[in-house]
């Protein structure tokens, strides 16, 4: 089966995932802008099993709809590599940039379009939602 590895910038925190992503999305919410330092987040969701190596520090943030997201980042270089949702440990959302692969498939969903910087244009055919779809 196809496997991919995402890594932090210094290389000590890694996650290996298998198969094609369940979904690939962009999030323009202000929390994602602040946690990434970029103007939107690009995330790919994968089903378990996945394999984590290295040390991670975590930070839990409660989303607008009450879900608790546990973000894992490298304590040395501070890259956010992946996060899980509490109670949904069978899947993981990985930061697309952490794969360092420009050939990674394009996103199909864009959420929190209400917070999108107006100069950010979306790929053709993407499904865009003003907030987070139910
Ligand atoms: Zn690192
Ligand atoms: Zn977000």
pLDDT digits (tens, 9 = 90+) for 12-49: 999 999 999 999 999 999 999 999 999 999 999 999 99
Measured between its terminal Cα atoms, the distance across the chain in Å is: 32
pTM, entire model? 0.94
Ligand lying closest to the C-alpha of residue 74 = 1
Given this model, what pLDDT does residue 3 score? 96
Q: How far is the CA of 61 from the centre of ligand 2 (A)?
A: 11
Domains of the chain: 3-128 (2.170.150.70)
Supply angle C-alpha 26, 118, 34, rounded to 5: 55
Q: How far is the CA of 40 from the centre of ligand 1 (A)?
A: 21
Ligand lying closest to the C-alpha of residue 73 = 1
Decide: 20 and 2 in contact? Cβ < 8 Å.
yes
């Amino acid at each position: 089966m196809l496997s991919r590895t995402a890594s932090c910038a210094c290389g000590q925190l890694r996650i290996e995932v298998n198969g094609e992503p369940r979904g690939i999305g962009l999030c323009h919410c202000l929390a994602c802008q602040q946690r990434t330092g970029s103007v939107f987040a690009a995330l790919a969701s994968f089903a378990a099993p996945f394999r984590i190596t290295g040390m991670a520090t975590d930070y839990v943030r409660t989303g607008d709809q009450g879900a608790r997201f546990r973000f894992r980042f490298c304590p040395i270089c501070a890259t956010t590599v992946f996060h899980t949702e509490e109670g949904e440990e069978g899947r993981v959302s990985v930061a697309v940039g952490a794969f360092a692969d420009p050939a990674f498939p394009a996103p199909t969903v864009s959420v929190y379009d209400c917070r999108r910087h107006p100069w950010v244009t979306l790929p053709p055919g993407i499904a865009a939602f003003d907030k987070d779809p139910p």
